[in-house]
Structures are given as C-alpha cells and as structure tokens.
Structure 1
Amino acid sequence: MPVSSPSRPVRPVERIAAPAAVRRRVFPRPGRADRDVLWLYLLTRLAIWTTAGCVGWLFPADGQARQPPSFLSPWRQWDWWHYLHIARDGYFPGQAGPWTAGWDNREAFLPGFPLALRAVHAVVPHWAAAGALISFVAGAVAVLALARIARLLLPDQEAGRRAVLFLLLSPCAVFLAAGYTEALFLALALPAWLAAQRQNWPAAAALACLACSVRVTGVFLAAALALHFVLTARGRTARRAAPWLLLPLLAPAVYGWYLHTRTGDWMAWKHAQERGWYRDFHAPWEAWAHTWKAAFGEVQPTGYALMWQAELLAMLVGLVLLVLLVRRRRLPEALYIGLTLWALGTSYWYTSIPRSTLLWWPLWTGLASWSLRRPAVQSAYVCVAAPLGTTVAITFLTGRWAG
C-alpha cells in the first residue's frame, strides 16, 4: 500500500543536508528561505523610506515652506553629524580637541563607521546617500545572518523569517535604515556568531575584530565568542584556533593607542563618553533611580519623559531575556546580554537601551521560537510594535530626541 505524502512538505534544513565543507562557510549559497528574507527586508525598507518621505512633506523645519526638503534631509539627525564630521574632517581637525571650548567629544565614537562612510563617499559623492547605502547593504547581510542563526537553533524553516520580521518591525527599527552604526555592527557581529557556531574561528575572530571597531558592544561579542569556544571546542585541532580569539582586542587597542598619541590620555574614549553623555560609573540602583525620576518625576517635558520610560522598559526586557538565557544554559549569549546591560545600566541614567535591543539577536530568535509554539504571539507583536515603530521613526526623522 503506497504511503501518502504529508500535506505540508517540509524543506530540509540546510545545516543538516549540507556537507561539512559547506557547513563551515559563513555564508553558504542563498536558498529559497534566504530570498524570502531579503524580499521581506526590501518591503520594510520601502515602508520606512515612504514614511521618511511623508515626514519631509508633513513636518518641514519651516512650517511655511512651499517646497519639501530633499529626500535625505530627514535622515541627517543627531549622531549622524558626529559620524559625518569624523569621516570628513577627522577626529582632531585643526589641532582642536578636548582642550578646545565647545568641543563635541567626537572621540566617543569608534572609527569603524566613519571609515566606511569615507570609503563609500569616494564613490557616492553625497554624504547622506553614502551613509544610507552602508546601512542598506549592511542590513541585508544582517538579516540573512539572523535568519540562518534562527534556523540553526530551531528546527522549523519558518524560524528565520519570523526572527527577521520581529527585528525589522521592532520599535527602534528606523535606526537600521539611518546612517548609524546598528546595521553595520549587525552585519559583522551576526556572521561572526554564525561562523562560531560552525567552528570557523578565524572568520569569527576577524569579523568580531571589525565589529569592535564599530561599537564597543563588539568587545562583549568577543567575550561571548571566547566562552563559546571554551564550551564547545574539542580536540587538538580546535584548540589550536584559540589564539584567534585575541584578534578582536586589536581594534580597541589600536584606537586607544591612536587617541593616546593625540591627547596623552589612554582613556580618552571613556572620558569623552562621560563629558558628553553622563556615562560615568554609578551603581545600578542609582542609574535606575535617576532614570525613574526622569521618566515619572515630572521633571522632564512629556516627550522626553516618554523616552525615559522606554529606557526602563527596555532594561526590564533585557533582564528577562538574561534570566531566560541562563535558565536554558545558553551561557555565551547570556554573557553578551549581561555585559551589555551592565555597561548601559551603570551610567548616571539609562541612554540608548531601546536602540541596543536591535543588537540582541537572542531576543529575536527567542520571539521566533515563542511564536512558533503560540501563533498569536506574532499577531500581537505586529499590532503593538508597528505603531510604536512608526512613532519612533517620526520622532527621529523630525529631529526630535529619539534615543
């Protein structure tokens, strides 16, 4: 008697079907699942660019304007100017520096994104267009890597698309399209993590080194990679790769040396963070108390207070995620999240934690896993996150503070 075929044929998961040589590649040949993810990415890019265009028409800087601003004008906000000034003029133009009155503390920003911006600007003359192009290409790489990480963790081919959907519709997803560091960091960090899962330690270390040049979060990634190596490396051949794990430290070491040669201060990066963004050390409970007062103490305008409330909520989400990762013995990812929360939660008050959630890939894969068990999770998430994301996008694109 012939065996009937299943009603829903399931495509084989790539990591099971592929030979060992292919599994060790950081990016195997794109398959149908990857094309679905890229199509979703393009659709969300179209949505965010449409929002930016409408913002330019509806909320011009001059309320009496008869002509809309250029398409790229809404994207030139806040940190973008720091990256632009570094890429165009360097860190210490005309012998200016921390000793100069009105200094902008630009050395607080790592050189990876400004260097990429300067390189792309050699081909794309418009600075804002160059920044947008970097984020566009980097975002595509990042979502492909995230989808593959999700498919490695979960046995369902739908997992990758869902993880990417949760990321791209997250409340702070506008920063993946802006000329900011989030997309570029993810384009380096996620393939690094993917390479580590496939025991390709030289590739993982090289990508993590580049990630360390983009955001300080790269150091936390390097720590997670080291712990993953300790927990998974077996055999003499694997242990010979251990020296590669020192490579990510090269980027912060070189940048620290450069700042020392110009300022005489080995801690110039940290001191710039303290001067410009109140990131001097405070106990975690003090940081929580200061942020709570800004959020609910009626000492800030309502718009700012709402942003501080978002900071508190993001911290709570991070703490829940950390507990879940520890309980499930996913210790390398827990180390990455824990170090990130410690760094963000020990300043005077919380700053940019909602943006940092974009970099928490265990959050997006965890939501994908949850939604596969409970399909209503995806619908609920979309209904809540989509309007929040639109609100944050409009806040950022109109030049209001969005952290």
Structure 2
Amino acid sequence: MTATVPPTETSGTPRADGAHEPPAEPSGGRARRWPLDRLTPTDLRVLRLYLFTRLGLWLITYAVAWTAPGGDSKKPAGWLSRWEQWDWVHYRRIAQYGYFDPFPGMDPPHDNRVAFFPGFPLVLRAVHTVVADWTVAGLLVSLVSGAVAVVALARIAGLESPDGARSGQRAAAFLLASPAAVFLAAGYTESLFLAFALPAWLAAKRRHWPLAGLLGAAATTVRISGLFLAAAIAVELLLTLRPSARTGQADPGVLRRLLPLGWCALPAVPAVAYTVYLHERTGDWQAWQHAEERGWYRDFHTPLEAFRNTWRNAFDHLQTTGYAVEFQLELVAMAVGVLLLAMLLFRRRWPEAVYVGLSLWALGTSYWYLSIPRATLLWWPLWTGLARWSLRRRWVGEAYAGVVAPLTVVLAVTFTSGRWTG
C-alpha cells in the first residue's frame, strides 16, 4: 500500500465547496503519486484500532456461540457457524457451484443467486484454493480488505481536514464503531467493496484518473454501488475544469483534460458484461433486476410509498417484533442518509452528494426499505464528516461512544445469533 501525503500534513488550500485541493507536487518529485504508498504512523495506529475491534467482534461471537444454544444444552454452537448467515450462503454457493449449476437442497423458485454480483464470489473462490474452509476463506477476505479500507478512509479524511492525522483516526473509529460494523467482519461484500472504492476515490482526489477508473471497475464487480462511485468520480473530474479561482479564466486545456472521462466510464464495463452474461444464460436482459424483485421486493415504488410501507411494517404490528425492529432500523438509517445528503448539498460537496443521493434513490424506491443500515458503511462522507465535526465539538465523540457504539454490540449479537431478520 502507498501514501501520497502523510496524514499529519495539511491538505492544501480549501476549495469553495469546503474540501481541500491536493498540495502541489514538489518540482523535483514525481509527476504523480499513487494514492496508496508506504504505511505512515497514522496508518499503523488506524490498523491497530482495526485489529482491536476485530478482536472485540470475535469475542462477542465466542460469547454468542456459548449462549445461543439455550435450554439445557451442554455444548456450544460452532464459532464459525455464527458467521454463516443469510447472504453468506448465497456467496458461498456461487463460489462453489456458479450461478446456474444445481446444489444440494436447491429450491428453483427461490434461487436468486444472480442478484449477487460476481466480484466477491470470485475472490472467495480464489482464496478457497489456499484455505480449505469456505467460512474461514470468507472471513479472511473481509479481514484483509477491511484493513485496506480503513487506511484509505483515514487518508481521505486527512485530505479533507487541516488536522489530517486526528481526522483520519476518528473517521476510522466512527466507521468501526458504527451499528452495522459487524458486516465489515462477516463474509459479506462491504469490506471488499470499500477496499476498491475508497482507494478509487483517493486516486480521484489525487487526480490519478486511470487508477480511479480501474479501482472503480473492480468495485462494480462487487456491488452495483460502483456505478454510483463512477458518477461521483466523473463529477469530481468536471469540477477540476472550473475557471481558476485566481485568474477567473477557464483552463485552456479543457478538451485535453476531458479525456480522463473515458476512465470514469470504466466502472460500467463489469455491470454491462454481467448483464450480457445473464442474458446469454437466461434470455432476459433484466435478469438481475428480476431476481432482486423476486427475492427482496425491489420493484419500483415512489419514495412516499416505500416510506409508508416501511413505517407500517415497523409500527403497525404487521410483523413479529424481530422484523418490526429491523424496519425501525431501516427508517433511522434512511433519516441519517437524508440528513447527510442535505449537509453535502449545503456545503456544495457535489461529487459526494451524487454518490449518496444515487444510493438513497436506489434504496428508497423499493417496496420497502431494505439493507440501508448496511449501506451506511459505504457512505464515506458520513464518517469523514463526523470526524471533522467531532474535532470542532468534543461532545460529538462522547455522544457517539455513549449512544451509538453500544448499539454496535447489540446488532453484532443480533447478527451472530441468527436474529438479524426476525
């Protein structure tokens, strides 16, 4: 991994939108630096925090393994079995059998494997060639990719704040103590996506457009959110073409500087390729969307309809209490996303607003809200924004530690005990 500007340094001059322009390169240095270089002392502190939080989650899982059986059982549940929950089963089956081969106990009407993009299963299968146990392989993928993600997040926060080191560490801490943080440790896609998406955004902030496009394409192989990232990177590129703040004149090389837009389109290639592949196998150009609709009710509804349906399932006693509280969490997460989007628009952070706005639109126009708490993990402006805010207002960090962090433990227990959905 590599570093551009050590997080202890300031991050250049502030822009009109509240961000900081990257510092000019030294005249005798390299023309362009990679977004990730050797580890800095701040990176090492972030990684230390990351490992401690992983240990904490593993201890929670150990405790759940002993308490989950209940009754008069004298044998704990298997530790690894606590991580074999819900979507993990789909990823493992895709890695083992592909998208269309049958598997033991297959139920064709409920086989919606094609709803999951191939990036994570491909990496899982590759790691499985070395690590025999599928669950251990999945946990290792998330462990390594999560380490890359938190370092990249800390560096992004460092670029956006004059107090780079402290801001970076706090952004990582806020993410790792977030309510849905258990999904960063499980064999799910969040960590792998962030391991590609955050360095891609860091590359875009450093004006390394080819690398941003390539990493963004890798992110799209993991989740559809990679397309939202591509849109944000394109907006970031267009913002570099604005008239100079010093001269008030447009850059004479605008057409030349528009050429990197081709790299910004690269993340669409995996999505198109996957669509073509599914069409060749099913004859359906919308096979992915139809699987989402069958399995998770992700057919289009207006935002008001989606809100009403979620509210009713949360509070009108239509569901069992386990499912009802899940819908309550969805409502809270959506409210956080809307507030974040409003703040980004107010501060004229257009690229980040595009990314969060597209995510909210995709999540908020289904039959009901689903998986929004997990999606908060992918909203890096939320964690960098909290970091900056906590540096100005000490009580923010105290409130987060006292109110939000305990919920992280509750939801980790909920997931590992098999009660996340109902």
Give TM-score, length-normalised by structure 1. 0.93
The alpha-carbon deviation at position 29 of structure 1 amounts to: 1.7
Matched, 1:391 2:410: yes
The alpha-carbon deviation at position 384 of structure 1 amounts to: 1.1
Query: Deviation digits for residues 159-193 of structure 1, max 9, x if unmatched?
Result: 00000000000000000000000000000000000
- Equivalent residue in structure 2 for 1:42, among 27, 35, 51: 51
How far apart, CA to CA, are the structure 1 residues paired with 2:323 and 2:103? 36
Matched, 1:56 2:53: no
Matched, 1:12 2:9: yes
Partner of 1:343: 362
Distance 1:209 1:70, change over 3 A: same
How far apart, CA to CA, are the structure 2 residues paired with 1:101 and 1:76? 21
- Equivalent residue in structure 1 for 2:339, among 320, 330, 340: 320
Partner of 1:280: 299
Give, as a single letter, the amino acid of the residue that structure 2 aligns with 1:54: A
Give the gaps of 5 or more residues in structure 2: 1-6, 12-21, 242-250
The alpha-carbon deviation at position 402 of structure 1 amounts to: 4.5
- Equivalent residue in structure 2 for 1:290, among 299, 309, 318: 309
- Equivalent residue in structure 1 for 2:174, among 162, 166, 169: 166
How far apart, CA to CA, are the structure 1 residues paired with 2:177 and 2:25? 31
Query: Contact 2:171–2:384 (CA<8 Å) still a contact in 1?
Result: yes
How far apart, CA to CA, are the structure 1 residues paired with 2:102 and 2:173? 46
Higher mean C-alpha displacement, 116-125 vs 68-77 = 68-77
Query: Deviation digits for residues 108-129 of structure 1, max 9, x if unmatched?
Result: 0000000010000000000000
Partner of 1:213: 221
Query: Contact 1:392–1:402 (CA<8 Å) still a contact in 2?
Result: no
Query: Contact 1:22–1:28 (CA<8 Å) still a contact in 2?
Result: no
Give, as a single letter, the amino acid of the residue that structure 2 aligns with 1:91: Y
More helix by share: 1
Partner of 2:92: 84
The alpha-carbon deviation at position 392 of structure 1 amounts to: 0.6
Query: Deviation digits for residues 192-232 of structure 1, max 9, x if unmatched?
Result: 00000000000000000010110111111111111111111
Give, as a single letter, the amino acid of the residue that structure 2 aligns with 1:242: L
- Equivalent residue in structure 1 for 2:234, among 205, 218, 226: 226
The alpha-carbon deviation at position 11 of structure 1 amounts to: 4.6
Partner of 1:7: none
Partner of 1:181: 189
Partner of 1:381: 400
Distance 1:67 1:262, change over 3 A: same
Query: Contact 1:80–1:180 (CA<8 Å) still a contact in 2?
Result: yes
Distance 1:174 1:247, change over 3 A: same
The alpha-carbon deviation at position 58 of structure 1 amounts to: 1.0
Give the gaps of 5 or more residues in structure 1: 1-9
Give, as a single letter, the amino acid of the residue that structure 1 aligns with 2:43: D
Partner of 1:111: 118
Partner of 2:246: none
Give, as a single letter, the amino acid of the residue that structure 2 aligns with 1:284: P
Partner of 1:262: 281
Query: Contact 2:313–2:319 (CA<8 Å) still a contact in 1?
Result: yes
* Count of residue correspondences: 391
Query: Deviation digits for residues 81-108 of structure 1, max 9, x if unmatched?
Result: 0000000001000499x9x743321100
- Equivalent residue in structure 2 for 1:301, among 311, 317, 320: 320
How far apart, CA to CA, are the structure 2 residues paired with 1:361 and 1:22? 28
How far apart, CA to CA, are the structure 2 residues paired with 1:94 and 1:310? 35
Percent identity between the aligned chains? 56
Query: Deviation digits for residues 272-330 of structure 1, max 9, x if unmatched?
Result: 00000000000100000000000111111112111111111111111111011011111
How far apart, CA to CA, are the structure 1 residues paired with 2:71 and 2:100? 37
Query: Deviation digits for residues 232-274 of structure 1, max 9, x if unmatched?
Result: 1463553332221221111001100110011000100000000
Partner of 2:383: 364
Query: Contact 2:322–2:421 (CA<8 Å) still a contact in 1?
Result: no
SS of structure 1 residue aligned to 2:76: coil
Query: Contact 1:24–1:195 (CA<8 Å) still a contact in 2?
Result: no
Give TM-score, length-normalised by structure 2. 0.89
